[in-house]
């Protein structure tokens, strides 16, 4: 009977849900959100330029085998991720572990960071401080755990510059302050790949070629 048929949209959503919950993904695409409007408070939306960057990013990633899209809860990240997920026809998942954070050394670990960085670190907003990067390390463990070296798809994560830098540093087992030497531009793509032997390789870093003059 026609009255019991499942609407096409709902059927498509269920099919996608089955795909992204069971898919094997060996690649991680780390993306910093597009440019935010600097005049819009603590949780700004994208600027006009940022909206254009997000559209260019979506066009670029339409050729990638993205199977799942995760985003920081911040508005600028959600808007960026939503533009991409809509282009790809995938659901968008908001993941609090991807929120904007800055690793902050505990009292006994300031020597892990160069002295000329100390004042800058001390000016980090309290709500963004992550003592010794513990929360970010846990976030990295959870995100990396979603990868499968036997897979052929990609997990896309839209987050923030220091989160991307921290994840790359963790993947490479780099020193605590290494994230500070890994600058990431708006709407740029960094790619990590889990190999079958368990190693994680950085195959792209801060790739913004798709932005052209909008970078």
CATH value at residue 86: 3.40.50.1240
Q: Name the pairing type of β-strands 102-104 and 129-131.
A: parallel
| Sequence-ordered alpha helix ranges (H) in 145-197 | 161-171
Asked whether residue 7 is assigned to any structural domain, the reply reads: no
Residue 128 domain boundaries: 54-210
Percent of the chain with pLDDT over 90: 80
Return the CA Rg of the chain: 18
Q: 7 pLDDT band (50/70/90 cuts)?
A: very low
The residue whose two tokens read 């800055």 is: 102
Asked whether residue 34 is assigned to any structural domain, the reply reads: no
The count of structural domains within the chain is 1
Give Cα 73 to chain centroid, integer Å. 11
**Torsion angle (degrees, nearest 10) of CA 119, 125, 131, 137:** -110
pLDDT of residue 41: 65
Q: Which two tokens stand for residue 71?
A: 């985003």
Residues composing the chain: 215
Asked whether residue 94 is assigned to any structural domain, the reply reads: yes
Asked whether residue 111 is assigned to any structural domain, the reply reads: yes
Asked whether residue 152 is assigned to any structural domain, the reply reads: yes
Any bridge partners for residue 192, and if so which? 28, 202
Asked whether residue 18 is assigned to any structural domain, the reply reads: no
Distance CA(159)–CA(98), nearest Å, equals: 6
Asked whether residue 25 is assigned to any structural domain, the reply reads: no
Asked whether residue 114 is assigned to any structural domain, the reply reads: yes
pLDDT, mean of residues 20-41: 82
Taking Cα atoms as reference points, which of 173, 168, 172 lies closest to residue 183? 168
Q: Which residue has the higher pLDDT, 28 or 42?
A: 28
Residue 101, helix vs strand vs coil? coil
Q: What does the pLDDT look like over 70-120, one tens digit per residue?
A: 999 999 999 999 999 999 999 999 999 999 999 999 999 999 999 999 999
């Amino acid at each position: 009977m026609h009255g019991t048929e499942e609407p096409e949209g709902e059927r498509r959503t269920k099919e996608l849900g089955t795909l992204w919950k069971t898919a094997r993904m060996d690649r991680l695409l780390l993306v910093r959100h597009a440019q935010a409007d600097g005049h819009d408070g603590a949780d700004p939306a994208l600027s006009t330029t940022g909206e254009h960057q997000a559209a260019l990013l979506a066009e670029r990633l339409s050729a990638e085998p993205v199977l799942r899209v995760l985003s920081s809860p911040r508005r600028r990240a959600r808007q960026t991720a939503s533009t991409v997920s809509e282009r790809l026809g995938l659901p968008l998942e908001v993941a609090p572990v991807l929120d904007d954070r800055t690793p902050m050394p505990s009292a006994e670990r300031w020597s892990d960071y160069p002295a000329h960085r100390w004042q800058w670190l001390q000016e980090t907003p309290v709500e963004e401080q992550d003592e010794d990067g513990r929360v970010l390390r846990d976030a990295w463990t959870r995100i990396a755990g979603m990868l499968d070296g036997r897979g052929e798809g990609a997990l896309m994560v839209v987050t923030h510059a220091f989160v991307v830098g921290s994840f790359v540093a963790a993947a490479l087992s780099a020193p605590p302050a290494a994230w500070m030497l890994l600058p990431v531009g708006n709407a740029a793509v960094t790619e990590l790949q889990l190999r079958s032997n368990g190693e994680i390789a950085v195959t792209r870093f801060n790739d913004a070629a798709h932005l052209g003059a909008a970078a």
